[in-house]
C-alpha cells in the first residue's frame, strides 16, 4: 500500500473543485438566484455579495480536494476506478452537502424546496467532480 500522492490529490481536487463551483454558479447564481434574494430579504440580510461568492468558491475547491483525498485514501481497500470514486463522492455528499444543509432546513431558516434542490443537484455535482478528480489522481501507476 503506497502513500497518498498529495500533489496529485491537489491537482485532481482543484479540477473537481472547479467543476463544483461551475455547478454551484448555475444552481445558485442563476436557477435559484431569485429565491435566494427572497430568502435573504426575509431574514433581513443583504443579498449575497462578492466576498461571499469568493468564499463559496474557496469552499468548493476544498470540497473537491477533500473528495479526491477521500478517493485516494479508500482506494487501497475498494480498488482503483469509478466504483471507488462513487463511494468517495457519496461520503463527501453526505458529510459536506446533506449534513451541512440539514441544520438550516430543520431550523426553518432555508425553505425545504431550496434545500432539497441543493442536495439533489449536489449529489450530481459531487459524483461528476469526484469521478473527474479521481481519474486525474495517480499513485505511481
pLDDT in tens, 31-74: 999 999 999 999 999 999 999 999 999 999 999 999 999 999 99
Task: Kindly indicate the confidence band of residue 141, based on its pLDDT and cuts at 50, 70 and 90.
Answer: low
CB 136 within 8 A of CB 11: yes
* Rounded mean pLDDT, 76-99: 97
Residue found by looking up cell 497518498 in the block: 4
Q: What is the structure's pLDDT at 30?
A: 95
Q: What is the structure's pLDDT at 87?
A: 98
The whole-angstrom separation of Cα 74 and Cα 79 is 8
The whole-angstrom separation of Cα 46 and Cα 55 is 16
Task: Kindly indicate the confidence band of residue 2, based on its pLDDT and cuts at 50, 70 and 90.
Answer: confident
Residue found by looking up cell 442536495 in the block: 119
Q: Encode pLDDT of 101-115 as tens digits.
A: 999 999 999 999 999
Q: What is the structure's pLDDT at 139?
A: 81
Ranges of each domain in the chain: 6-136
The whole-angstrom separation of Cα 96 and Cα 126 is 10
Residues near 141 by Cβ (< 8 Å), separated by ≥ 6? 80
Q: Residue 140 is placed in which grid cell?
A: 505511481
Closest Cα to residue 16, out of 8, 5, 4? Answer: 8
* Rounded mean pLDDT, 11-34: 97
Q: What is the structure's pLDDT at 138?
A: 85
Amino acid at each position: 500500500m503506497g502513500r497518498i500522492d498529495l500533489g496529485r490529490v491537489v491537482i485532481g481536487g482543484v479540477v473537481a473543485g472547479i467543476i463544483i463551483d461551475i455547478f454551484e454558479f448555475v444552481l445558485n447564481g442563476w436557477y435559484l438566484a431569485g429565491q435566494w434574494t427572497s430568502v435573504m430579504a426575509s431574514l433581513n440580510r443583504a443579498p449575497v455579495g462578492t466576498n461571499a461568492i469568493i468564499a463559496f468558491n474557496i469552499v468548493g475547491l476544498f470540497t473537491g480536494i477533500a473528495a479526491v483525498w477521500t478517493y485516494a485514501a479508500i482506494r487501497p481497500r475498494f480498488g482503483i476506478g469509478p466504483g471507488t470514486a462513487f463511494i468517495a463522492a457519496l461520503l463527501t455528499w453526505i458529510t459536506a452537502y446533506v449534513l451541512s444543509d440539514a441544520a438550516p432546513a430543520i431550523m426553518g431558516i432555508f425553505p425545504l424546496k431550496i434545500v432539497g434542490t441543493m442536495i439533489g443537484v449536489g449529489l450530481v455535482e459531487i459524483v461528476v467532480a469526484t469521478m473527474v478528480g479521481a481519474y486525474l489522481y495517480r499513485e505511481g501507476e
